[in-house]
Structure 1
Amino acid sequence: MALNLTSKKAVVSEVADIASQAHAVVAVEYHGLTVEQMTNLHARARQTGVYFRVVKNSLAKRALVGTEFENVQNHLTGPLVLAFSMEDPGSAARLWRDFFEENSKLDKKAMVKFLGFSGQVMPGSELDRLAKMPTKDEAIALLMACMRAPLDKFARTLNEVPGKLVRTIEAIRQSKEAA
């Protein structure tokens, strides 16, 4: 379906707004995917905080100007679906990784074209690495565990002093009873 100028401007504006807020982008060639698979991907994307959009490359290039993903413009070739991670950097990569695990007949290496993250363009082979990035809650939990570890060790060390005293007294008591 051809878009008129007003519709094109609306698409560019929408994608530009999303790209300015997104943490990462994953571009996948959708050629070979069924309508059912695309529908399932859209539904999962909404649940996981991923903006999922098939957009013409010429419009995507215009939309990405002035965003952190401006450097991916040269890689926008072929029929692509763009998945923008809105909540955490790895959410779009996890969406696609899980999809390819469920549909093992699809060639992940050929379909994932590139990733955009932190102002860098990465090849599609880095999908798993980006997908393994922790979510915000996981990162906070890891940070708290690291901050708490020295305190836990200090508490165990302090607790060991009276414990050792009790064991020593018990050993002396047993040796006197045995004598």
Structure 2
Amino acid sequence: MDRAQKQESIETLKGVFADSGAVVVTHYLGLTVAEMTDLRLRLRKEGAALKVVKNTLVQKALNGSAGEAGDALFVGPVAIAYGADPVSAAKVVAQYAKDNDKFKIVGGILGQTTILDEKAVKALATLPSLDQIRGQLIGLLNAPATKVAGVLQAPAGQLARVFNAYATKDAA
């Protein structure tokens, strides 16, 4: 890899760290190509991606913003999982690590400066995704309006039933 390619890789990694909600750092030693492809497909379904990275290039891309704890994550054969939603990559990676003993979660970086350990990444994976939170919020906002409409319609419905009862009583 020549100097220009390294610089291009560093710029790409800077973009990944800037645009991602969270970056999950993993060790993939012992995984087959088929297993890595399966993981990439699972991540892609959730809007996330997996990239095998060179540790020195990542450390240059972070430029010390993650500190020594962040640099310590990038030792050995490292792949990073990332996505715009902080939870999506963590969920898929945590599930895959549970199913496959060769795949290990090392830690993560949240917002370029907050370092997460393995337990924190697994805790992040248990949170609802951004889409789920939006759905819950819309449901909460719609619930009072639905209840108000039901309350307003109830007296009118009762009044209509009373009129109908009088009308059928007079007809009989």
Question: TM bucket by the smaller chain?
Answer: 0.7 to 0.9
Distance 2:89 2:123 in 1: 12
> Unaligned stretches of 5+ in structure 2?
none
Q: Which amino acid aligns with 2:117?
A: P
Q: For residues 84-139 of structure 1, what are the alpha-carbon distances to aligned partners after superposition, in whole Å with 9 as ceiling and x for unaligned?
A: 113x11121122133234xx35177xx21112224422221233432244444333
Q: Per the alignment, do residues 121 and 46 of structure 1 end up closer, same or farther by CA in structure 2, a change over 3 Å counting? A: same
TM-score where L is the length of structure 1 = 0.74
Over the aligned positions, Cα root-mean-square deviation in angstroms equals 3.0
- The separation in 1 between residues aligned to 2:45 and 2:27, in whole angstroms, is 22
Structure 1 residue 170: Cα displacement: 8.8
Q: Secondary structure at the match of 1:77?
A: coil
Q: CA separation in 2, counterparts of 1:161 and 1:46?
A: 52
Contact 2:50 2:80 in 1 (8 A): yes
Aligned pairs for 1:74-153 within 5 A: 74-86=72-84, 88-101=85-98, 104-106=99-101, 111-118=104-111, 119-153=113-147
Contact 2:22 2:82 in 1 (8 A): yes
Any idea what SS the aligned residue of 1:28 has?
A: strand
1:21 Cα deviation after fit: 1.1
Report the alpha carbon displacement of residue 31 of structure 1 after superposing the two structures with TM: 1.7
1:9 CA displacement: 1.7
DSSP-derived class of the 1:97 partner = helix
Aligned to 2:20: 22
Structure 1 residue 48 displacement after superposition: 3.2
Aligned residue pairs: how many? 167
Q: 2:86 is paired with a residue of what secondary structure?
A: coil
Taking the aligned partners of 1:107 and 1:130, their CA distance within structure 2 comes to 21
% same residue: 28
Using the size of structure 2 for normalisation, the TM-score is 0.77
Runs of 4+ in 1 over 4 A off after TM superposition: 163-172
Q: 1:28-72: per-residue Cα shift (whole Å, max 9, x none)?
A: 1112322221122233334433232111211111112387xx342
Which blocks of at least 5 consecutive residues in structure 1 are unaligned?
Answer: none
Instruction: Give the Cα separation in 1 of the matches to 2:110 and 2:41.
Output: 23
Indicate if the aligned counterparts of 2:81 and 2:89 stay in contact, CA closer than 8 A: yes
